[in-house]
Amino acid sequence: MNPSPSSKLPPYPGNALPDTPSPQIHRCVLVCQHRTCLRHGAAAVMSAFAQVRVPGVTIQTSECLGQCSIGPNAQVLPDNIWYARLTPEDVAIIAEEHLQGGQPVDRLLNPRIHLRF
Ligand code: FES
């Protein structure tokens, strides 16, 4: 019996839906360190992310992510999950629930990108 077409597809990231991230994949967190985010505390947010030690997770600084008015901002790839208005205290929650547990932190999501209906 031939496998279904979907079973031939390679694993994440190419085929997974953004709202169903897997805790086993390699992730990269981009933390904006551009002007507006820096004015709102992005350096402290980056310092908190720099303390995160989760296997398979890379933390990187980033240029402007285009969401300046609701910074500090961060984007998690390949999940394509965007966080906004971050504080250093939020980072430990993101690390535990999203980066380790695979479940994005709903209350910290960027409301422009992750629309609620
Ligand atoms: S300055 Fe951070 S998103 Fe633009």
Which residues have CB under 8 Å from 80's CB, separation 6+? 18
The yes/no answer on whether domain 24-108 falls in CATH 2.40.40.20 is: no
Domain boundaries in the chain?
24-108
Q: Report the mean per-residue pLDDT for the chain.
A: 86
4, 51 Cβ separation under 8 angstroms = no
* Cα–Cα distance, 84 to 71 (Å, whole number): 5
Report the predicted TM-score, pTM, of the whole model to 2 decimal places. Answer: 0.80
How far does residue 53's CA lie from ligand 1's centre (Å)?
25
How far does residue 28's CA lie from ligand 1's centre (Å)?
17
The token pair at 116 is 């609620």
Evaluate: CB of 74 within 6 angstroms of ligand 1: no
- What element of type H or E holds 28? strand 27-32
Ligand 1 atom at minimum distance from 42 CA: 2
Q: For 51-69, how does the pLDDT look when each residue is reduced to its tens digit (9 = 90+)?
A: 999 999 999 999 999 999 9
How far does residue 23's CA lie from ligand 1's centre (Å)?
27
Q: What's the mean pLDDT in 4-23?
A: 45
